[in-house]
Amino acid sequence: MTAPVTALILTFNEEMHIERCIRSLEGVAERICIVDSFSTDRTVEIARDLGAEVVQNPWPGHAAQFQWGLDHLDIRTGWTLRIDADEYLDEGLRGAIQRWLAAPEPGVNGLHLRRQIMFLGRPIRHGFFYPLHILRLWRSGEGRMEQRRMDEHIVLRDPCTKVLEGGDLVDDNRNDLSWWTAKHNGYATLEVIARIEAAAGHKAAPEKLSGAAARKRWLKEQVYTRLPATLRASLYFFYRYVLGRGFLDGKEGFFFHFLQAFWYRTLVEAKLYELELRAEAADLSPYELLAREGVFEPRED
């Protein structure tokens, strides 16, 4: 028997992952809804053959696309699950969700799932990266997606949450490192844009996050960004790889922690510096330069 859950998945060319994701929801999700951004591969065909509902919508950004799904898919099940196409529920987590939904604790309206990241075929278990507790299952109608360019989370109207133990939400993307680095290059650009918006006074009102997401955001905004720009990435890598014992994750772990903690964070700082130099040469603020380039609307004073 399936549980009273609607699973919401965003896709674009995910034929490599979508079957694994959908099959992992068997016995958990009563309804599987996919918001597809007009994939050109077999994603839609595979998903429909497996019984998922598929709607298509042009890509407006991750946060906006997910909220579009929440607003337009008429979710009537008691609970909603957010899962990415390259993720899946392991057997332990499927059982834990089924047991929880058979007898949920009164008043609890959201569950933080344990997220396990795989990299080059190896689970990353150190560097303060496991377990990552992330809010992914909530009472339908209680949650919405905060509208941010990066690091968006589900926000509950009145959060009363707990961590669901017993299994993992596994993040195991099968694409190669060229894909991974291209994806993070895009993330770095988005993060720079978000920083420029915040510096220009366009920072979104703070959301009432809960659990690990709240702690992570506080550390990033109140500690990390106040460190010298040329030292941030080095100190973060040291924190992850030495203090967090990331070296215990072997060769794969070295590549992961170095690329994700040092290379990516350095790329963000380099892109920000490059933008500041271009803005100075144009006698504009970074925000004005991005506005002139059409990234966002000019600031209205």
* pLDDT tens for each residue of 50-78: 999 999 999 999 999 999 999 999 999 99
Percentage of the chain modeled with pLDDT above 70: 91
> Is residue 296 predicted with pLDDT exceeding 80?
no
- The region that residue 190 occupies, defined by phi over 0 for left and psi between -120 and 50 for alpha, beta otherwise, is alpha
Residue 33: other Cβ atoms inside 10 A: 21
The pLDDT assigned to 229 comes to: 82
pLDDT at 251: 97
Residues 6+ apart with CB under 8 A from 38: 12, 56, 58
pLDDT, tens only, 102-129:
999 999 999 999 999 999 999 999 999 9
Before 131, cis peptide (omega within 30)? Answer: yes
Residue 204 has pLDDT above 80, yes or no: no
Query: For residue range 186-200, what is the model confidence (pLDDT) as tens digits?
Result: 999 999 999 898 888
Q: Cα dihedral sign for 50, 54, 60, 64?
A: negative
Is pLDDT at 266 greater than 80 in this prediction?
A: yes
Which pLDDT score, from 0 to 100, does residue 199 have? 84
Interatomic CA distance for residues 151 and 198, integer angstroms: 14
* Full-model pTM: 0.89
Does residue 208 register a pLDDT over 70? no
The highest-level CATH class for domain 5-171 is alpha beta
What tens digit of pLDDT does each residue of 164-174 get?
Answer: 999 999 999 99
148 pLDDT band (50/70/90 cuts)? confident
Quick check: 213 pLDDT over 80? no
Which of 265, 139, 133 is CA-nearest to residue 210? 133
Q: If pLDDT is split at 50, 70 and 90, which confidence band does 300 have?
A: very low
Give the range among 152-156, 207-211, 257-261 with minimum mean pLDDT: 207-211
pLDDT of amino acid 301: 44
Q: Length of the chain, please?
A: 301
Residue 133 has what pLDDT? 94
Domain residue spans in the chain?
5-171, 177-292
Measured distance CA(95)–CA(28) in Å, rounded: 8
Structure confidence by residue, pLDDT tens digits, 4-50: 999 999 999 999 999 999 999 999 999 999 999 999 999 999 999 99
- Cα–Cα nearest to 128, from 218, 223, 249, 266: 249
Confidence (pLDDT) at 223: 73
DSSP, residue by residue, 233-250: HHHHHHIIIIIT-GGGGH
For range 275-295, the mean pLDDT:
94
Task: Give which of 266, 293, 261, 66 is closest to 196, Cα–Cα.
Answer: 293
pLDDT for position 183: 96
